[in-house]
Structure 1
Amino acid sequence: KLDVRLHTYVMDWPTMKELQRAYLLSGVANLDVPQDHLFCAAIYQMARKYRVKYILNGSNIATEGADAPFSLQHTYRDAWHLKSIYRKHGRGKSLKKYPALSLWEAWMGLPGVTKINLLNYVPYSKKEAIETLSREFDWEYYGGKHFESRFTKYFQSVYLPRKFGYDKRRAHLSCLILNGEMTREEALAELARPPYPLEQQKEDESYILKKLDIDPATWQRILEAPPTPDDAYFSQQKLFNAARRLLGQKGLDRIKQRRYTARG
């Protein structure tokens, strides 16, 4: 209907499986890093290949502007952090088939490519967007934020509250309240309900553990172990902090701007 060319990037499953398994064993909070890093790296690959100048992003303040404290977790763009976790908890399989962002790509983006959060430039309503997509494109709502991914659905709805005591719905619903799409009373009523049926939660847990080769005893140890801080693993953060102290944030922004506007 939109006449847009679709390119599907198919990740090597054995590699992805081992990396995702390592993250579950790592004790860090953000288990979506393996797929989020892959999304970004794959998009950059396509941008380089086809010399794309603009990347449109659906991130927006209206529905995602109140995501702390989870948003304060370590960035998903840090390949050093990802590989540090894999070195400690992986089972030895090479990550050469996994596309990783370089240090420059992680912090400065691609030369000549501008990322635009398009929804921040229009009056955006989640309710109206759902109605328009359903009416114009026969789109079907999958029941919750990021529920299009079975893993993310379980991770955010079950694993995070159980192990870290953090329900991301609080932040998501707070945004809708601020955006005038929901009252506080309606949000509290939704929080009082399970994010999705308990039977489906059990099915998803069983499915994910089987796919990742995690036995019940190992899973119990994962749930009972104390959370691991992100800085327990090697990362690019100290290097970036040193560059910010040396150049200042304005200096880094000027470098980033030159990288965006100069074709490579």
Structure 2
Amino acid sequence: MHVYPRVIPVLLLEGERLVKTRRFEDARYVGDPVNVISIFNDLEVDELMILDIGAARSRTPAPLALLNRIVTEAFIPLAYGGGVETVAQAQEIIAVGVEKIVVNTAVLTAPDAVREMVRALGSQAIVASVDVRRDGEGYVVYTAGGADAAELTLDEWVAHATALGVGEILVTNIDQEGTRDGIDLDAVRIVSAAAEVPVIAHGGAGARTDLVAPIESAGASAVAAGSAFVMQSGRESVLINYPTRPQIDDLFGHLFDGRGEIRTAVTVERDADLQAAEEFLRSGRVCARCLITDDVPGAAFDQDGVCYYCHLHDSLDKQYPIGPESEAALDRFVAELKEAGRGRKYDCIMGVSGGTDSSYLAHLLVSKGVRPLAVHFDNTWNSPTATSNIFAVLDKLGVDLETYVVDNAEYDDIYHSFMLAGVKDIEAPTDIGFMGVLYRAAEKHGIRHIVEGHSFRTEGVSPMGWLYMDGGYIKGVHERFGRLPMKTYPNLDFKNFVKWSAFSRIQRTRPLYWIDYNKEAAKRFLADEFGWQWYGGHHLENRFTAFYHTYFLPTRFGINFRQIELSALVRSGQMDRTVAAAQFIEPRHGDPELIAMVKKRLGFDDAGFEHVMTMPKKEYTDYPTYKRRFELLRPFFWLMWKLDRVPKSFYVKFCTPRKK
């Protein structure tokens, strides 16, 4: 049995109405307190916290009559805060039926009264609340609803509050409150490291995944949120909500070890890894929002220090907003698939690799009644985990599979050619071959829809200067360095690409764009539902791809591709930026057995391998490609993008003229 961290809605009271604020200002009405709390009661919340901002500012007594009505309606633990500064006031509130008192200003202005409250009511009944703002490298503590700065550091405040005997601490960054930009984990870490009592992290949660990081990586015991539970995600519409028990399990289940005890990804103390991560983020070379550094091709930081890829993410986010609009769009697409498949055995072609995204996509489509034909491109470098995952998921879902297996000697010769070419793009043959197989399967079965398991929210977009691919590039490099003819490799030449996308009207769609897709939750679901296994990292389900990401790119070109995925997870609120930075700067070490396998299969002795790893570096521009054709036909491919014949990422990356 897991005792999950407490997830606490925080409701702001002003007079007799509930409001939402942003940075403690601009109060906006969100509902009648009794009615709202009755809804939370039905949603089986852990506990509720009512912060009376009106009473806190005016120092007026608590509205006992209203609290009595609320307590009568609610059958859940309640905490109340708002200008409480005497033992008598606290006792009156407890007598109504409230279980905890939240004190803020009184911690500093009336410490003896707070100490007496603890003595009279018990430490478990007193929560000390601290409001802070970041100031350079540290924090300033504020009282009186964020109006007055206190003359002590955050560490000093924690020592003072705990000396009074309080049972819990609620920590809020004023500048994060109501923004839905994520909770300030640094402030939470400082308080958690200094306090010996449970810490409640609050202020800034937007997506539900924001609730996890304070527990997982900042040492909090509980997490609290206001906007996340009274507003629709990503919108300004009032919508009272709270995660169900299964959803809470999805959020927090991975934090528990085999004994049912909670574990955290990093320690509360600012260990060397976190310190190094924070130094990296302060270096001035990093996007102010994600982990993209100024040496990433196309980073193009704006005046606020935000990179191009963050802006691209935002444009896609607007095009595919999470909520009723995207749910309706997905349902329309599903209906379109079913209509297109009427009278046929299959509704669409779906690429599968055994990875998280394609496996979850298979579940999503089948759950909506779609009949996909799964297609897999076997380049003969699959890991056993990948093939086991494909079998486990498709077998249980009852999905048919077609696998195209390329001749292994021929394919190894293509890899060998790219190694000799001196370029970064040695995995381009896999991506192009996979796409070629999908188009051929669609043509063979007369199917006009290809669905792809890609999410910009979890994968991001690969920079053009780090990975280029097209069929002309594959052909040009192989003609220069290849030893065996390409007979079985399913290349995607320009003529067929235009034929299939324009004249055959084959559409390519990424349904995961329309859902609130959380990668960690997807992994846990797939493991529980299908016995699916994690393979250790993004794209590592293929052995050559694992060599490419963990050894070849970092060693030969100094490129750490984790930067792209981790940045996407940070942008979408699925990972704390500091934790992501710690993962990013951690050195990558290639697996010696995998390196030995690559040498053997590609025919390199030690000297030959050392040569290709140290020879002069080349770029895709040194070889024949279709890039110039894509640029000249930019208006045509713009139309193809608008008609869903090619992804937006293709149009943006391949059809935009290369900067000199």
Do Structure 1 and Structure 2 share a fold, with TM-score over 0.5? Answer: yes
Q: Does 1:219 align with 2:219?
A: no
Distance 2:518 2:592 in 1: 33
Contact 2:448 / 2:505 at 8 angstroms: preserved in 1?
yes
**Which one-letter code corresponds to 1:141 in the other structure?**
W
Matched length = 248
User: Which residue is 1:84 aligned to?
Assistant: 476
* 2-structure distance, mates of 1:30, 1:193: 23
Cα 1:256/1:167, change in 2 over 3 Å: closer
| C-alpha spacing 1:69/1:50, structure 2 compared with 1 (3 Å) | closer
The structure whose RCO (Cα within 8 Å, separation 6+) is larger is 1
The question of whether the paired residues in 2 share the 8 Å contact of 1:125 and 1:181 is answered with yes
Instruction: Look at both structures and tell me which one has the larger radius of gyration over its CA atoms.
Output: 2
Residue 253 (structure 1) aligned with residue 638 (structure 2): yes
Q: Judging changes above 3 Å, is the alpha-carbon distance between structure 1 residues 25 and 112 closer, same or farther for their aligned structure 2 residues? A: same
Moved more, 1-10 or 107-116: 107-116
Partners in 1 of 2:461 and 2:411 — Cα distance? 30
Displacement of 1:219 in angstroms is 1.1
Helix, strand or coil at the partner of 1:166: coil
Q: Does residue 130 of structure 1 match 2:523?
A: yes
1:167-246 aligned at under 5 Å gives the runs 167-195=560-588, 198=589, 201-244=591-634
The 8 Å contact of residues 108 and 256 in structure 1, kept in 2 or not, is answered as no
Aligned partner of residue 400 in structure 2, secondary structure: coil
Question: Which residue pairs with 1:94 in the alignment?
Answer: 485
- The Cα shift of 1:107 comes to 5.3
8 Å CA contact 1:59, 1:119 repeated in 2? yes
Shift of 1:253: 3.2
Partners of 2:515 and 2:629 in 1: CA distance? 36
Q: Which residue of 2 aligns with 1:67?
A: 462
In structure 2, distance between residues paired with 1:80 and 1:185: 41
Query: Cα offset for 1:252?
Result: 3.9
**Which whole-Å CA distance do the structure 1 matches of 2:643 and 2:567 have between them?**
37
RMSD of equivalent CA atoms: 2.1
Contact 1:108–1:259 at 8 Å: present in 2 too?
no
Aligned equivalents of 1:259 and 1:30: distance in 2?
26
Letter in 1 for 2:582: A
Q: In structure 2, how many angstroms separate the alpha carbons of the residues matched to 1:167 and 1:257?
A: 32
- Is the 1:133–1:139 Cα contact (8 Å) retained in structure 2? yes
Write the letter of the residue equivalent to 1:101: L
Query: SS in structure 1 opposite 2:405?
Result: coil
**Residue 156 of structure 1, aligned match among 539, 549, 558:** 549
**Unpaired runs of at least 5, structure 2:** 1-395, 646-660
Q: 1:107 to 1:64 in 2, by over 3 A?
A: farther
5+ long unaligned stretches in structure 1: none
Name 2:293's counterpart in structure 1. none
Structure 1 runs of 4+ with >6 Å offset: 255-259
**Aligned equivalents of 1:243 and 1:12: distance in 2?**
34
Change (3 A) 1:133 1:179: same
Task: Find the counterpart in structure 2 of residue 20 from structure 1.
Answer: 415
Deviates more, 1:204-213 or 1:183-192: 183-192
Which of the pair is proportionally richer in helix? 1
The 3 A distance-change label for structure 1 pair 61 and 51 is: same
CA contact (8 A) 2:471 2:491 kept: yes
Deviations 1:54-109 (Å, cap 9, x if unpaired)? 111011110122533555x32x2x22211110111112x11122222131443574
Q: 1:34 aligns with which of 429, 450, 456?
A: 429
CA distance in 2, matches of 1:177, 1:258: 30
CA distance in 2, matches of 1:252, 1:153: 32
Q: For residues 513 and 608 of structure 2, what CA distance do their matches in structure 1 show?
A: 43
Q: Find the residue that maps to 2:586 and give its secondary structure.
A: coil
8 Å CA contact retained: 1:55, 1:113 = yes
Q: Deviations over 1:23-47 (max 9, x none)?
A: 1111111111112111111111111
**Equivalent position amino acid for 2:481 in 1:** H
Distance (whole Å) between structure 1 residues aligned to residue 487 and residue 432 of structure 2: 14
**Contact 2:509 / 2:644 at 8 angstroms: preserved in 1?**
no
Asked whether 1:2 is paired with 2:397, we answer yes
- Identity across the alignment (%): 28
Cα distance in 2 between the residues matched to 1:48 and 1:63: 30
Q: Distance in 1 between matches of 2:542 and 2:442?
A: 24
